[in-house]
Amino acid sequence: MKIIGTGRANPAKIVTNAMLEEFLDTSDEWIRERTGMTERHVISNEKLEDLAAEAARKAIEDAGITPEDIDYIICSNVVNEYITPGLSCIIQGAIGAKCACVDVNAACSGFIYALDMADDRIKSGKAKTILVVAAEEPTRMVDWKDRSICVLFGDGAGAAIFRAAEGTGDRSDTGILATKIYADGSQYDHLCSDGGVSLNQKAGFIHMDGKEVFKVAIPSLVQGVEESLKIAGININEVNWYVPHQANLRIIDSVAKKLEIDMDKVVVTVDHHGNTSAASIPLALAESFAAGKFKKGDVIAISAMGAGFTWGGMVIRI
């Protein structure tokens, strides 16, 4: 299974730390020191479904395929315009594909969960070409008066196309070499929304016990990489790039240290994207491909952690 194209779309509006200082008791210094963020894209006039379709179209163009070639769409998403239908169906209609569609909500780990599903579907022979999109607008779920949460998030959509390819089943293959996903629902209330149509007929705001999540995030991100590398039979020294979920530069730094991977090999976008939930990894992948950062044969380790808690890792060779 090969990754044959990627695409991305960000809302036009950029909110800088200085803009946040204008209406919140916060500072550029605090946000940069505690999170590594300087700005984030925030959805305003756009619809998330349009950004998701734009990222998908770009990935299709990058892959050199047509929408008819796609035989399955998986969309990772937490919140969008509608409770139902799922965003995957809206994307399918917008791009003119004719295939089955499904949404997955594993919060910030959603892209890894979606790729794990795509990998299984291709390996089982049920699909040959899969579009995976992660599209998120967490800024619609924050209380803009709560400085501890609203400064952290940004919006965007990232997409990737995966195609079946013959492999030897060993570590020389390209595509997804290994995936490992986890969840622990016993701690869900450390990071959750306080609303829902059944609960109170409100969309609700994100609540996070930042310190608790911080503590869990670091070992979870490390475990995702270490366990998937073990399955792939690949040593950390053979990893060319690490693409972590982008929630906080301090978390990324600490994970890189624990993995003993040089920060030069770590893709960081949290500075200009903020935390875009499941979209953070495909946005980082698409941006890196577009910048010519990745070379053919490179081994990319990925890991994410988020609400649920969910977490996981993956190793890809391109």
Q: Which of 41, 245, 272, 273 is catalytic?
A: 245
Q: Which is nearer to ligand UT7, 211 or 296 (CB)?
A: 211
What stretch of H or E contains 69? none
Would strands 241-244 and 299-306 be described as parallel, antiparallel, or unpaired? parallel
Token pair listed for 203: 């969309």
Handedness of CA 89, 282, 310, 51 (dihedral sign): negative
Shortest distance (Å) from residue 305 CB to ligand UT7: 6
Q: Residue 314 Cβ, how far from ligand UT7 at the closest point, in Å?
A: 17
Q: List C-alpha distances in Å: 49 to 53, 56, 147, 176, 204.
A: 6, 10, 28, 27, 20
Closer residue to ligand UT7 in complex, CB, 14/65: 14
| Residue with the two structure tokens 């892209």 | 111
Q: Measure Cα distances from 46 to 9, 80, 107, 224 in Å.
A: 11, 12, 21, 34
Residue whose CB is less far from ligand UT7, 91 or 255: 255
**Which member of 17, 80, 248, 275 is catalytic?**
275
Q: Which is nearer to ligand UT7, 34 or 171 (CB)?
A: 34
Q: Is 89 considered catalytic here?
A: no
Q: How far is the CB of 248 from ligand UT7 (least distance, A)?
A: 4
Write out the residues near ligand UT7 by the rule CB under 6 A.
Answer: 26, 30-31, 34-35, 108, 147-148, 151-152, 210-211, 213-214, 217, 247-248, 251, 275, 305-306
Per the annotation, the verdict on 245 as an active-site residue is yes
Q: Is the dihedral of CA 37, 205, 107, 88 positive or negative?
A: negative
The closest residue (CB) to ligand UT7 is 210
- 257 φ, ψ (degrees, to nearest 5): -60, -45
Q: Report, in Å, the least distance between residue 107 CB and ligand UT7.
A: 7
- Catalytic residue check, 275: yes
Candidates 10, 108, 248, 272; catalytic one: 108
> Looking at the annotation, which residues are catalytic?
108, 245, 275
